[in-house]
Amino acid sequence: MKDLFNAVLRLLVKIALRLYFNKIKVSGKENIPKNHPVILVANHQNALIDPLLLATHTNLKPWFLTRAAVFKNPMVSKILHYIRMLPVYRVRDGFSTIQQNQQTFEATFEVLKKNGTVVIFAEGSHSIVRNVRTLSKGFTRMAFGLKEKYPQLEPLILPVALEFSAHKKSGSLVIIDFGKPIPVDMPPSKSGLLTKKVQETLQSMVVEIPDEGYDENLQKILDAEVDVTSKKAVSEFLGKGNIIESVDRPSPIKNKLMKVFHFPLYWIWLSISPKIEDRVFESTFKFLIGFFLAPIYYLLLLILALESPLGSWTLSFLIMAWISLLWNKNPQE
C-alpha cells in the first residue's frame, strides 16, 4: 500500500512540476546506476522543490535526509516517514541530539542494503547563490558505515547538479544533470579524499559565480541575456566576455495572463508572501498552492460552466486558465 501511495503521489507531483515550470531538462540519465546502493549527492538551491524534482525524475524511488526540526510532531513524523523521509540532526538542533543521527544512519543502511537510494544535500542548507558551497562529510560517513556493516556491498556516490533560470518564479527553466557515479574504493581513513572528489565533481557540473563580486557578476550575466543555467556559457562570459549561449527575454504578458486567469490563487499567494521569512521558500509555497488548490479552483469553474447561466463564458475562462498556465514563462533572475 505504501509503495502504491508513493507511486501515485510521485506521478501527481511530476505532472504538477511540469505545469509549474516552463521546461524541465534532464541529462545524464544513462549515468544512474542499477543494482547498486546509491548515495545521491546534489547541490541545494531551491528548498522543497529540489527533493521533489529528484523524487519524480528518476526511477530510483529515493529516501531523503531532512532536517530533524520538521519531525517534532509525532503525526507529521509518521507522514514524513511514510513518504520516505528520515531526520538528520545538526548542532543547531542541540548538541545532545547529534547522537540520534546513528538511528538515521542505521535506517539508511537498511535502505541501501536493498540497492536502494538515499538523497543527501551535502551543503547542509539551501541557498539561491549559484555555486557549490563546502560539502559536509555526512555522505562519506554513510558510505563507509555501510561498507563496514555490509562489506560485500559496493555503494556508489551519484553527483547531481540542479540549475534554475529563476529560483523564485513559475514558468522558468530547470536543468537536472546526473554525473558519472563515483565508487567508494578507498579506506575510511581517506574519507577526506572522497569528500574532495565529490566536491570537485559537483563544482565541474554546477554553474559557478564566485562569491567575490557575486551580485555584480550575476547582474552582468542577466543584462547580457547569457543562459544562466549553462555552466559553459557562464564560464565563457565571466572569463572572456564572450556570449556563446543567450536566451530571449519573454514577454511579460504571458505571466500576467496566467495571474489574471488564476487570480484567486494569486491572491492567496499575495496574502502569504509577506509572512515568508526565508525567500528561498517562495517557489515552494507557490508550487504547494497550485498543487493543492488549483484542482479545486478548476473543479469549481467546471461546475459553474455546467450549471450556471454563464456556462459558456465560464468554460471559456477555464480553457484560457489552462492555456495561460502552459504558456506561462518568466525571465531569468
pLDDT of residue 174: 98
* pLDDT tens figures, 172-231: 999 999 999 999 999 999 999 999 999 999 999 999 999 999 999 999 999 999 999 999
Dihedral sign (CA 294, 296, 299, 305): negative
Mean pLDDT in residue range 125-144: 95
pLDDT of residue 69: 73
Note whether 209 and 56 are within 8 A (CB): no
Q: What is the rounded CA–CA span in Å between residue 58 and residue 238?
A: 33
How many C-beta neighbours within 10 Å does residue 97 have? 14
How many C-beta neighbours within 10 Å does residue 138 have? 22
Q: What percent of the chain has pLDDT over 90?
A: 81
3-state DSSP percent of the chain in helix, strand and coil, to 5: 55, 15, 30
Mean pLDDT in residue range 244-273: 96
Is the pLDDT higher at 125 or at 181?
181
User: Which amino acid is residue 279, in one-letter code?
Assistant: R
Note whether 111 and 99 are within 8 A (CB): no
Going by their DSSP bridges, the two strands 156-164 and 85-88 should be labelled as unpaired
Q: What is the rounded CA–CA span in Å between residue 65 and residue 199?
A: 19
How many C-beta neighbours within 10 Å does residue 145 have? 18
* pLDDT tens figures, 66-117: 877 777 778 878 878 888 888 887 656 555 566 777 888 899 999 999 999 9
Which pTM value belongs to this model? 0.94
**C-alpha dist (Å) from residue 175 to 18, 166, 212, 297, 325:** 13, 11, 25, 30, 20
Q: Which of 19-28, 43-52, 305-314 has the lowest mean pLDDT?
A: 305-314
Grid cell, residue 170, equals 513559475
pLDDT of residue 72: 77
Dihedral sign (CA 270, 273, 279, 282): negative
Going by their DSSP bridges, the two strands 156-164 and 182-183 should be labelled as antiparallel
pLDDT surpassing 60 at residue 133: yes
